Amino acid sequence: MKITDLNLTNANGRPFKATIYQQRPNEMLRQPDRPLMLVIPGGSFNHFSVRESEPVALAYAARGFNCAILWYNLVQDEGMVYPDAALSGLQLLTYLRQHHAEYNLDPHRTAVIGFSAGGHVAAMMNSFAQNQQYQEKYQLDPNQCQPEATILGYPLIDIEEIGFELDEQQEASLPSDDFIRDASLGVTPQTPPTFIFQAWDDPVVLIDNGLKYAQALREHNVPAEVHLFDRGGHGFSLAQSELVQTDKPWQDNPHAAHWFELSIEWLQRVFV
């Protein structure tokens, strides 16, 4: 596997980083160009969850994807989280499509997966790509910057629907614009097919988030698949034993771990 670190600049002039995981090309394969999975880890906008970044990229790489991890701007970085976090994701997807031959990618089979706060970034990427105001201001072409599929893992959708109070630094760095605070407001009939998974007992990002986004998808006739597991809490990632933190044994959850294989089956249908 070839691992490449990228330094790019988004449409707002802000630099950001990404890491690419590329399987060595094999001309003997029937389909040498691989689908892309763009991974956006969570971390409350103040850090990146290690468990939701490289392990997820490697899991999808093992199932035939070339992968990228987006390292978006956080609250402690200079400036605001938005619009740059979403603009960086859109720029990364555009860049990888434009350089698909270099990275052995099929530019017509691209997916984004976002966890928790990263789920908000993933959802806002689609909102910006379909919003005329942002299209004009940042020269966004949805044919270039929007994925064919979106996966949202216990996603933050509405900043008002969380199970704790934001601290002053977080609140000051997040937008006051309702369109950005509530990602469900950006859903349109052109929003990509979406797969959502979450635990019913999530105490951090309440299930109202996933349900609210699912309702918006339904109202706009966007194909979707939603899995609500009875238990799992928040931040269970792949829910595998090797990714369990020492003080959080509940993260080993074979039942909730089914979301990964379900997502593979769903993507195979979306990418037909």
**pLDDT tens digits for 53-111?**
999 999 999 999 999 999 999 988 988 899 999 999 999 999 999 999 999 999 999 99
Distance in angstroms (rounded) separating the CA atoms of residues 142 and 127: 10
Q: What pLDDT does 159 receive?
A: 86
Retrieve residue 106's tokens: 């099929």
Share of the chain above pLDDT 70, in %: 94
- Counting the structural domains of the chain, the total is 1
Which residues in the chain land under pLDDT 70?
A: 27, 29-31, 164, 166-167, 169-171, 173
pLDDT of residue 196: 98
Q: Which two tokens stand for residue 128?
A: 């910006």
Q: What is the distance between the terminal CA atoms of the chain, rounded to a whole angstrom? A: 26
**Closest of 72, 146, 77 to residue 116, by C-alpha:** 72
pLDDT, residue 29, reads: 67
Which residues does 129 contact at the CB level (< 8 Å), separation at least 6? 90, 135, 140, 142, 145, 146
Residues 150, 195: contact at Cβ < 8 Å? Answer: yes
Of the candidates 22, 46, 18, 21, the one whose C-alpha atom is nearest the C-alpha of residue 32 is 22
Query: Which CATH number belongs to the domain containing residue 264 in this structure?
Result: 3.40.50.1820
Structure confidence at residue 170 (pLDDT): 65
**Host domain of residue 12:** 2-270
